[in-house]
Chain A
């Protein structure tokens, strides 16, 4: 009996203590986590912190008013705005109004704090007399200069992706820019050459599709192969 006890005690000791020593797994060192992952984690943390109670604004036409919550139809879809006793409601003429004064199809701008479920806690809700006119749609294009009309200052731009050609109208209000030594500099129309690449933004005329450019950004032809051009080439004199 005595021997059995001794065997049992030794057996338990060996069985319980030794596996713990083997069970330890190495923890990853800080060096193993790449800076990119650290940066992304930090960005995500900041985004979560910001979304906690960030200031936000919803605007659109009222679709429903029930209890103290407004439902609006905005460009981005349906949005809900919660109101409370602290919410300032402002009428078309700047006067203070009540929630009951709001009507379906009223255009409102609601300022407040975004809650986690996308609900806006409205702090200031203003009714606009009418829906604001959207800004003129600007067209952004990018391609290669196919032709230049110096007199009319019109550029024909061929799309790199498809067989589309854009007509770019350059006016006195157009800003033409080019990147020089990591800085953007304003340049003249004369510096644009056939074969250059450029991006332009402006208003598209409905009648003929011409884009009246407000800004043009020039990438001269061969800019990508500039390093190769810097390599000295053997001269013809040497061959003679």
Chain B
């Protein structure tokens, strides 16, 4: 191999490596900047006073305006830990206590046709929140 060819190979390789390193450094700098931005935003969010978690009542089932083909409906939902849950169905009332995770589940009887179910939750401070569901119990084939 000629001396000139060897020199050309070395120069080409070195030049390629140099440019690659340059590109890699630039990419790294851009990535670091873009990653740093959400962190800054996150830090800002932490610094800002967060509003207290509200006292909520989420009903998972039955869904409002559901069509149910059995004479019982399972009431499932979540609120705060140890919340007192009062359920008033068409011809039945129940009071239960949510577990330590705030989850609750019970069954209520339904009457044929329209059923209004009001679910009320109380937390330990006596705050109250409620939701009313309308469901229809029918065995008609659709």
Contact = CB atoms under 8 A, between A and B. Distances in A.
B73 to A, nearest CB: 13
A3 B16 contact: no
Interface residues of B, number: 51
A199 B95 contact: yes
B96 A201 contact: no
Contacts of A201: 86, 88, 93, 95, 120
Contact of A55 (B66, B113, B130): B66
Interface string A1-39: 011101111111111001100110000000000000000
B24 A19 contact: yes
Interface stretch (A61-69, A136-144, A148-156, A188-196): A136-144
A138 B110 CA distance: 16
A71 interface: no
B135 interface: yes
Nearest to A13: B16
Contact of A22 (B27, B93, B136): B27
A109 B136 contact: yes
Contacts of A22: 24, 27-28
Contacts of A165: none
A14 B17 contact: yes
Interface in B125-142: 125-128, 130, 134-136, 138, 140, 142
Contacts, number: 147
Nearest to A213: B93
B83 to A, nearest CB: 10
Output the residue of A14, A57, A138, A160 with the most chain B CB within 10 A: A57
Output the residue of B4, B88, B127 with the most chain A CB within 10 A: B88
Contacts of A2: 5, 8
Interface in B1-48: 4-5, 7-9, 11-13, 15-17, 19-20, 23-24, 27-28
Contacts of A43: 60
A2 B2 CA distance: 12
Which are the 9 A-B pairs with shortest beta-carbon distances? A14-B16, A160-B126, A10-B12, A57-B136, A7-B12, A217-B95, A123-B142, A3-B8, A142-B122
Given A199-B86, A201-B93, 13 more contacts: A14-B19, A55-B66, A56-B66, A56-B67, A75-B134, A109-B136, A111-B67, A112-B67, A132-B113, A142-B84, A142-B122, A143-B126, A202-B93
Interface of B: 4-5, 7-9, 11-13, 15-17, 19-20, 23-24, 27-28, 60, 63-67, 69, 84, 86, 88, 90-91, 93-97, 113-114, 116, 118, 120, 122, 125-128, 130, 134-136, 138, 140, 142
